[in-house]
Amino acid sequence: MTAFDTTVIEAAASPATGLSATLKHARHVVTGNPITGFSFTLFILLLVCALFGPYLVPYDPLATNTVVALKPPSLHHLMGTDQLGRDLLSRVVVATRLDMEVAIFSVALVFVLGGISGIAAGYFGGWTDRLVGRLSDTIMAFPLFVLAMGIVAALGNTVTNIIIATAIINYPLYVRIARAEANVRRNAGFVQAARLSGNGEFRILLMQILPNILPIMMVQMSLTMGYAILNAAGLSFIGLGVRPPTPEWGIMVAEGAAFIVSGEWWIALFPGLALMLAVFCFNMLGDGLRDIVDPQRRT
Amino acid sequence: MASIVLKRLATAIPSLIGVIFVSFLLTRVLPGDTASYFAGPAATPQAIAEVRKQLGLDKSLPEQFARYVADLAHGDLGNSLTTGRPVVAEIANRLPASGELTLLGLLIALTIAVPLGILAAIREGLWIDHVCRVIVTTGVSLPVFFTGLLLVYVFYFQLGWSPAPLGRLDVFYSAPPQVTGFYVVDSLIARDFETFRAAFAQLILPAATLAIFSLAPLARITRGSMLAVMGSDFVRTARASGLTPKTVILTYAFRNAMLPVVTTLGMVFSFLLGANVLVEKVFAWPGIGSYAVEALLASDYAPVQGFVLAMAVLYVALNLMIDLLYGVIDPRVRLEA
């Protein structure tokens, strides 16, 4: 940890050299480990699908055509068609945006809420720490997916509420990390220096502590992205959140589930594979990011 | 030992209070008017007000909370809107189905993950370690409902080895006389091997789905913790004293590596309780998870609330047991407590 602390502090002290060194190291990690390189490529692909998906696909993802219903993969429909004759490839690609949106917004939300309250808990200690600790203990007392179900059921069946529920169940994790990282730095030399030169506590929190724990939090964000995607897909699989005609991976697997027993495997398989690849991509990226940020904790 | 149990029970109280409070909040404070739902779509404002008074929803929130807690103390979780039956009876009725599934899943996962993790640690960098890594990475990336569907496709549709994924027992069989509520155990007690075979055939695919899902964290933590212990001084000493590798690994290293594994078990159980909901939907398993999903889709709040509460209480109780298990595994924990 000490080696990591000094590199971070150096990076903060001299941004230019620190940044270029980090980039160099990042390039080394991406090219050095084939799996990280692969997942980085996958990430770019996901990004392209999310941004330009609707313009790239061959068919309208909502257009039904019962003449070609339930057709296995062919040259016309690379992933086959579903029970209403909709092109699965188009639906899988277009669904990327919605799934990414849910994951990104929920992770951003929990990063702000959990990150800031965690830092405050670790830095101030005392009643702030107890309050934040109690709150995350209460959330931890529930099986997390069950809590997410309950929250979406109570708040109402919308995509926004899936984002909120996913953020809430990830809250304890972010608090724990931010709290621990802020706690070890609360009396570090640079914090004392900032305090001596007349900075207020909140300014120290935002300008000194936050930038220092950002790298660790970024790793966590990448790792929880995968979990957020799984969670959202699970919720829509049981019929919460996203409503049927909308293309979304979880609900598409749910639609395909009814046809698995009669052998129409492609309806559930392709959205399921997309889901799996996206989660795999974020998990691997998270591991790769950890290698950049914290080489000592390599696995 | 008794005092340790009591002390640990006392620390679970704040969690339980939090759990009860949150499950109350989930239905009372958040939007959606329960009274107008109960009264039906065609109700007049007077009728809604009447229902509201009947349900006690016209009282202040603290009063409502007191009433809710008092009902809970009597074991009353309210009635389901759709079936009209008490939620407690329904949950108690369906709990064994979920329990059987979850426990078998956990058992399969443990019998595969722990030896795999140990092997990966003592053969670090060799092929078994890579196999372990591949399984771990795939395991965490696979959505649990997707794994279930894949298994159904392969073992039911393609190979025809397993029965249709429709519940706990084929329609041709009748449930064994209830002793534990677990069909597999009950049929053995009744010496009805035909029913045992049928129940087990229904159970194995959903249990395997849950096992695949929980394999990854267990194998990962076993490997990591074994690696740390194998590098420690007392293992070196044991080796230097000429003990056989088997004794060193199983008696010395493994027992010490168990603590993090047991801790992870609690987390894995939390995941499993959630995954249960999805797996029960895939396999039409009549457990509490599918009960909650049905209620959820019908906006029937009492069962959902009861389900969340039951799961949370189960989970708190389980963590309590795990803490006590620490003491059995590691006497130092007992002394500190």
Q: Which residues of A touch B152 (CB under 8 A)?
A: 260-261
**CATH code for position A117:** 1.10.3720.10
**Cβ–Cβ gap A239/B270 under 8 Å:** no
pLDDT, residue B337, reads 47
pLDDT, residue B270, reads 80
Q: Which of the residues B29, B141, B311 would you substitute to probe the A interface, choosing the one with the greatest number of A C-beta atoms within 10 Å? A: B141
A63, part of any domain: no
Q: Which of A71-85, A161-175, A202-216, B156-170 has the lowest mean pLDDT?
A: A71-85
A129, part of any domain: yes
Give the number of beta-carbon pairs within 8 Å between A and B. 150
pLDDT, residue A13, reads 45
A67, part of any domain: no
Query: In the predicted model, is pLDDT for residue B291 greater than 70?
Result: yes
A107, part of any domain: yes
d(CA B103, CA B189) in angstroms, rounded, equals 18
Of B19, B137, B293, nearest to A238 by CB-CB distance is: B293
d(CA A165, CA B51) in angstroms, rounded, equals 30
pLDDT, residue A8, reads 45
Helices then strands, each counted (H, E), chain A? 12, 0
**Cβ–Cβ gap B146/A256 under 8 Å:** no
pLDDT, residue A11, reads 44
Question: Whole domain around residue A175: which residue ranges?
Answer: 77-297
d(CA B264, CA B270) in angstroms, rounded, equals 10
Query: In the predicted model, is pLDDT for residue A262 greater than 60?
Result: yes
E strand segments, B35-127: none
Q: Which two tokens stand for residue B226?
A: 């074994």
Q: Which of A27-36, A90-99, A162-171, B179-188 has the lowest mean pLDDT?
A: A27-36
Cβ proximity of B270 and B106 under 8 Å: no
pLDDT, residue B297, reads 75
Mean pLDDT on B60-75: 79
pLDDT, residue B147, reads 87
Q: What residue of A is the nearest CA neighbor of B316?
A: A141
Q: What residue of A is the nearest CA neighbor of B144?
A: A234
A298 touches chain B (CB under 8 A): no
Longest dimension (CA), chain B: 86
d(CA A46, CA A233) in angstroms, rounded, equals 16
CA distance A220 to chain B (A): 15
Q: Which of A62-76, A157-171, A193-207, B150-164 has the lowest mean pLDDT?
A: A62-76
Cβ proximity of B280 and B6 under 8 Å: no
Asked whether the ipTM of the predicted complex exceeds the cut of 0.95, the reply is no
pLDDT, residue B293, reads 82
Q: Which two tokens stand for residue A288?
A: 């790769």
What is the CB neighbour count within 10 angstroms for residue A96?
23
pLDDT, residue A109, reads 92
Cα radius of gyration (chain A): 22
Helical pair B144-152 and A210-237, crossing angle rounded to 10 deg: 40
User: CA of A170: how far to CAs of A106, A113, B210, B281, in Å?
Assistant: 9, 10, 22, 24
Of A141, A275, A299, nearest to B19 by CB-CB distance is: A141
A261 touches chain B (CB under 8 A): yes
d(CA B80, CA B306) in angstroms, rounded, equals 10
Give me the number of domains chain A comprises.
1
For every residue of A46-84, which 3-state class applies, written as one string? HHHHHHHHHHHCCCCCCCCCHHHCCCCCCCCCCCCECCC
- Confidence band, pLDDT 50/70/90 cuts, at residue A297: low
Cβ proximity of A102 and A163 under 8 Å: yes
- Percentage of residues in chain B with pLDDT exceeding 90? 1
The DSSP 8-state label assigned to residue A246 in this structure reads S
SS3 B76: coil
Taking only the tens place, the pLDDT of each residue in B234-252 is: 888 888 888 888 888 888 8
A132, part of any domain: yes
Q: What residue of A is the nearest CA neighbor of B145?
A: A234
Residue A121: which residues within 8 A CB-CB, separation 6 or more? A128, A129, A131, A132, A133, A175, A178, A179, A182
**Kind and range of the H or E run holding A187:** none
d(CA B12, CA B316) in angstroms, rounded, equals 7
Q: Which two tokens stand for residue A244?
A: 């049927």
Residue B65: which residues within 8 A CB-CB, separation 6 or more? B21, B24, B28
Taking only the tens place, the pLDDT of each residue in A27-85 is: 776 666 677 777 788 888 888 887 887 777 777 777 677 776 667 777 676 677 777 76
Cβ proximity of B184 and B200 under 8 Å: yes
CA distance A87 to chain B (A): 20
Q: Which residues of B touch A230 (CB under 8 A)?
A: 143
pLDDT, residue B108, reads 92
pLDDT, residue A299, reads 47
Residue B247: which residues within 8 A CB-CB, separation 6 or more? B238
Q: Which of A30-39, A44-53, B95-104, B190-199 has the lowest mean pLDDT?
A: A30-39
Q: For residue A233, which of A295, A148, A174 has the smallest C-alpha distance?
A: A148
Mean pLDDT on B297-324: 80
- Percentage of residues in chain A with pLDDT exceeding 70? 84
A23, part of any domain: no
User: CA of B202: how far to CAs of A258, B206, B237, in Å?
Assistant: 18, 8, 49
What is the CB neighbour count within 10 angstroms for residue B12?
17
A223, part of any domain: yes
Query: In the predicted model, is pLDDT for residue B89 greater than 80?
Result: yes
A8, part of any domain: no
- Confidence band, pLDDT 50/70/90 cuts, at residue B111: very high
d(CA B137, CA A184) in angstroms, rounded, equals 31
**Cβ–Cβ gap B141/A238 under 8 Å:** no
- Degrees to nearest 5, angle at CA A272 with A224 and A246: 90
- Confidence band, pLDDT 50/70/90 cuts, at residue B69: confident
Q: Which two tokens stand for residue A218?
A: 């970024």
Of A153, A155, A234, nearest to B278 by CB-CB distance is: A234
Q: Which two tokens stand for residue A136?
A: 């995350």
A151 touches chain B (CB under 8 A): yes
Q: Which of the residues B136, B145, B152, B305 would you substitute to probe the A interface, choosing the one with the greatest number of A C-beta atoms within 10 Å? A: B145
Q: Which of A140-144, A188-192, B158-162, B332-336 has the lowest mean pLDDT?
A: B332-336
**Cβ–Cβ gap A153/B21 under 8 Å:** no
Taking only the tens place, the pLDDT of each residue in A194-250 is: 888 888 888 888 888 888 888 888 878 887 888 888 888 888 888 887 777 788 888
